[in-house]
A = this chain, B = another copy of it.
Amino acid sequence: MSEKGLSTRHRIIKAAETLVLKHGFAGTSLDDVLRETGLTKGAFFHHFKSKAELAKAIAENYAEADMKMFVDWSAQADRLSDDPYERVMIFLKLLEEFLDGLTEAPQGCVLAAYVYASGMFEPAVREYVRGRLDWWQCLYEKKFQALIDARPPAAPVTARALAEMIASIIQGAFVLGMAFKDRELMKRQSQQFRHYLDLLFRPRAAA
């Protein structure tokens, strides 16, 4: 993997990712990817032993970048406050800030795209996708558990259920944001979820 080779590999992955989110994995031919990158069959099979390996690479590339962002926001939130409630809120606001910076409607989540064509992928890739989604949910769950431990919620909720909820909201916002080409839908959803947390956990006036 020389300097140039790695960048070619990465160019293939990024071009393929965009195409896969538009046409699905099966709907994206290698020729499509090669047309997009200006490369040839020879180049592709020099870097990937099969289309299936490309699928794996796209998922890994996407998921790792995604995880890094979330880990960063989490660390930043934990640095800015000691309070579990504030930590969750800051975390979500950092996400919203990021969403605000985007100039286009969402392209979609690669993991969800794979879930919606899971039959096309090797079991190992399906497992990987499931694992990343689970990791993501666990990240949230820990935050909510700290929150619930610190303050009694105003309704009987579990950390797991809240984590599932925000994960669902984000995934759903991808689908609807794409369908309606709405750049701000996901941000509104995050805000809405913060309202819920607010009602659940913010100290009442009575206190």
Which positions in A face B, CB cutoff 8 Å?
Answer: 21-27, 108, 111-113, 115-120, 129-130, 133-134, 137, 154-157, 161-162, 164-165, 167-173, 175-176, 178-180, 185, 188-189, 192-193, 195-196, 198-200
Contact = CB atoms under 8 A, between A and B. Distances in A.
Contact of A24 (B27, B170, B175, B178): B27
Nearest to A157: B195
Nearest to A29: B26
Nearest to A182: B164
A169 B175 contact: no
A168 B176 contact: yes
Contacts of A179: 111, 115, 129-130, 133
Given A23-B120, A26-B26, A172-B175, 13 more contacts: A22-B119, A24-B27, A108-B115, A112-B116, A113-B116, A116-B116, A157-B195, A161-B188, A168-B169, A168-B171, A168-B185, A171-B171, A199-B199
A197 to B, nearest CB: 10
A117 B172 contact: no
A168 B180 contact: no
Given A27-B26, A120-B23, A120-B24, A173 B168 contact: yes
